[in-house]
Amino acid sequence: MPVLIFIDTAEGHVKKSSLEVLTYGAKVAEQLGTTAEGVVLGSVTEDLAALGKYGVKKIHHVAADALNHFDAQVFAKVLAQVAEASGAKVIVFSNNLSGKAIAPRLSVRLKAGLVSGAVALPDTSNGFVVKKNVFSGKAFANITVNTDIKIIALSPNAYQTLAGEGAAEVVSFNASIDAAKVKVTGVSKASGEVPLTEAEIVVSAGRGMKGPEHWGIVEDLAKVLHAATACSRPVADAHWRPHNEHVGQTGFAIAPNLYIAIGISGAIQHLAGVNRSKVIVVINKDPEAPFFKAADYGIVGDAFEVVPKMTEAIKKIKGTA
Amino acid sequence: MKILVCISKTPDTTAKIAFTDNNTKFDTGGVQWIINPYDEWYALVRAIELKEADPSTVIHLVTVGAADAEPIIRKALALGGDEAIRVNADNHDSYYIASQIAEVAKQGGYDLIFTGKETIDYNGSSIGGMVSELLDLPYVSLAAKFDLAGTKATITREIEGGEEMNEVELPLVVSCQKGMAEQRIPNMKGIMGARTKPLKVVDPVAVDTLTSVAGFGLPPAKAGVKLVSPDNVEELVRLLHEEAKAI
């Protein structure tokens, strides 16, 4: 009765969030005295056996081209077949965009209790209890899963990827696949940029930037850090920056290793979207900005002077100056 | 066209988060309740816009909750919507709530079911997916744009680092997020009209729960900010590199 891990891919590549769930799922398996197995849907361009270094012993690959486009209904049915065939009692997803669509469907299909947004390994000392964030990161809850099969959707960036040695056995799985009802008619991607929800470092700016024409220094800083750019709600609402950069209560919730907030006062709604960041740096000319209370490091100063200096100092450290 | 919009009651975004009963219950003392922002600003407002474009559209609202959810559902009716259904049940887990909504949906025969992308209290992001599976309908999650031409929906959904365009035939379940619509404020006509709109109360169907809350907790407080002089930006970078090991 293995732990089954859904390995999410995009355009044939394994997503970074999948490496986190592989590491996490292998640890859960170790804890339960069983093995970890993965499942990949659709064609891939990567060597799946190499994923064994994250602790997974076997990978079920449903290589049908019909699964190259995402349809949660179709994916959930295929995953249910793999789960049943493998006899898995714990199924692990990333609580990323795909996981949020499929895991609830699989939960219903298998009548398996779901903990979405898990942030720690299950506590199995008394039942099966998983910690998750609630109240938009302002609190956590310990959720007991009462069903025979359990599904965990792990928050992105909540668990450190750990690579060791080993190769996984890749077996092809023949599933019955329904025709997709969701037709994908196009994809638009900002090429070369780091996706916000997967980024380890995020550079974010707010109204303190005074206008969209001043974003160059924010982008320069993001570039030297290989960071994604983000913004506060007023900035997105004023159309200074696109809506898909808005982080906060009603935008995206993110949990990068480093969040640099420039000219953002730190309203409670903004904090709700970023409070799970591991290290928070705040640059604001107002020493009373509430964001300083939530920050690890701060500079009270003019962003237009501080940010370019920061970019130069980082270039020196990285040896790219 | 019949649309069902799922409405949830959540604490205001500025509410103080505390717990009682040995950290097993949310402390509702002094909490202001609001319509979950994703349900209101995106799901409900987009449904209202669809009705404005095609006045033959009927919008029903559904909430699963006790009688204290009624002010919230009246407020939602003040924004728009023709009638509301309250399933008279205390909140249980996502599966329980989704099962109640699916039951209402079966009775009503809807072409389109909208949910917000998540609630700001439980952050489950699960109701839309569960309802769609219970009804065996297609599901598009995290939609940022939604348009209809006859029975064909054109949807833009978020993917990592971009957007994907989808086409789906109704009936269908969609979870809605920023981009779908803009926040509206109810006007006096809407508020007056909401008082007389039908609000049906139905009993829940018997459903198991799959999960339960063992307890809540608050994250450890931050140690406090380490301030660096604006004349010494190099020091900040050194700290981030050597102390925080973040760059």
Q: What confidence score (pLDDT) does residue B143 get? A: 96
Question: Longest Cα pair distance anywhere in chain B, in angstroms?
Answer: 67
Question: Quick check: A143 and B211 CB within 8 A?
Answer: yes
The answer to the question of residue A181 being in a domain is: no
Closest Cβ opposite residue A139 in set B161, B217, B225: B217
Q: What confidence score (pLDDT) does residue A195 get? A: 81
Rounded Cα gap, residues A155 and A93, in angstroms: 9
Q: What confidence score (pLDDT) does residue A40 get? A: 98
Contacts of B218 in chain A (CB under 8 A): 138-140
Contacts of A96 in chain B (CB under 8 A): 160
The answer to the question of residue A189 being in a domain is: no
Contacts of A142 in chain B (CB under 8 A): 213-217
Question: Quick check: A129 and B214 CB within 8 A?
Answer: yes
A309 CA to chain B: closest CA distance, Å?
6
Please write the tens of the pLDDT for every residue from A173-187: 999 999 999 999 999
The answer to the question of residue A285 being in a domain is: yes
Question: Quick check: B126 and A107 CB within 8 A?
Answer: yes
> Are A168 and A201 found together in one domain?
no
B67 CA to chain A: closest CA distance, Å?
23
The answer to the question of residue A187 being in a domain is: no
> Are A52 and A140 found together in one domain?
yes
Contacts of A268 in chain B (CB under 8 A): 13-14
pLDDT confidence of A189, banded at 50, 70, 90? Answer: confident
Question: Quick check: A104 and B125 CB within 8 A?
Answer: yes
Please write the tens of the pLDDT for every residue from A12-71: 999 999 999 999 999 999 999 999 999 999 999 999 999 999 999 999 999 999 999 999
- pLDDT > 80? residue A193: no
Count Cα neighbours of A158 within 13 Å in the Cβ-side half-sphere. Answer: 27
Residue burial A29-47, b: 16+ Cβ < 10 Å; e: rest: beebebebbbbbbbebeee
The answer to the question of residue A297 being in a domain is: yes
Please write the tens of the pLDDT for every residue from A253-276: 899 999 999 999 999 999 999 999
B38 CA to chain A: closest CA distance, Å?
7
Contacts of A75 in chain B (CB under 8 A): none
> Are A212 and A86 found together in one domain?
no
Mean pLDDT of B114-141: 96
The structural domain count of chain A equals 2
List the 62-121 stretch of B: residues with Cβ below 8 A of A.
Answer: 93-95, 98, 120-121
The CATH number linked to A148 is 3.40.50.620
Question: Quick check: B211 and A115 CB within 8 A?
Answer: yes
Mean pLDDT of A147-167: 95
> Are A113 and A7 found together in one domain?
yes
- pLDDT > 70? residue B100: yes
Question: Quick check: A244 and B144 CB within 8 A?
Answer: yes
- Name which of A231, A250, A254, A312 to mutate to probe chain B: the one with the most chain B Cβ atoms within 10 A of its Cβ: A250
A197 CA to chain B: closest CA distance, Å?
7
B159 touches A: beta carbon within 8 Å: yes
Question: Quick check: A10 and B139 CB within 8 A?
Answer: no
Q: Name the average pLDDT for chain B.
A: 95
The answer to the question of residue A178 being in a domain is: no
The answer to the question of residue A180 being in a domain is: no
pLDDT confidence of A308, banded at 50, 70, 90? Answer: very high
Q: Report the chain B residue with the minimal C-alpha distance to residue A318.
A: B247
> Are A131 and A18 found together in one domain?
yes
Please write the tens of the pLDDT for every residue from B173-226: 999 998 899 889 999 999 999 999 999 999 999 999 999 999 999 988 888 999
Mean pLDDT of B5-9: 97
Q: What confidence score (pLDDT) does residue A192 get? A: 61
Question: Quick check: A185 and B167 CB within 8 A?
Answer: yes
Contacts of B121 in chain A (CB under 8 A): 134-135
> Are A17 and A137 found together in one domain?
yes
- As a three-state string, the secondary structure of chain B is CEEEEECCEEECCCCCCCEECCCCEECCCCCCEEECHHHHHHHHHHHHHHHHHCCCCEEEEEEEECHHHHHHHHHHHHHCCCEEEEEECCCCCHHHHHHHHHHHHHHHCCCEEEEECCCCCCCCCCHHHHHHHHHCCCEEEEEEEEEEECCEEEEEEEECCEEEEEEEECCEEEEECCCCCCCCCCCHHHHHHHCCCCEEEECCCCCCCCEEEEEEECCCCCCCCEEECCCCHHHHHHHHHHHCCCC
Mean pLDDT of A207-233: 96
Question: Quick check: B212 and A144 CB within 8 A?
Answer: yes
Q: What confidence score (pLDDT) does residue A82 get? A: 98
The answer to the question of residue A97 being in a domain is: yes
B128 touches A: beta carbon within 8 Å: yes
Question: Quick check: A141 and B216 CB within 8 A?
Answer: yes
B180 CA to chain A: closest CA distance, Å?
11
> Are A301 and A165 found together in one domain?
no
Contacts of B210 in chain A (CB under 8 A): 107, 111-114, 145-147
Question: Can you give the residue ranges of every domain in chain B?
Answer: 2-217
Contacts of A273 in chain B (CB under 8 A): none
Q: Report the chain A residue with the minimal C-alpha distance to residue B222.
A: A294
> Are A13 and A157 found together in one domain?
yes
Question: Quick check: B234 and A114 CB within 8 A?
Answer: no
Question: CB contacts < 8 Å between A and B, how many?
Answer: 282
> Are A155 and A57 found together in one domain?
yes
Q: Name the average pLDDT for chain A.
A: 95
Class of domain B2-217: alpha beta
- pLDDT > 60? residue A321: no
> Are A156 and A26 found together in one domain?
yes
pLDDT more than 70, % of chain A: 98
B149 touches A: beta carbon within 8 Å: no
Question: Domain span at residue A155?
Answer: 3-172
> Where do the H-state alpha helices sit in A116-230?
216-224
Q: What confidence score (pLDDT) does residue A191 get? A: 61
> Are A225 and A148 found together in one domain?
no
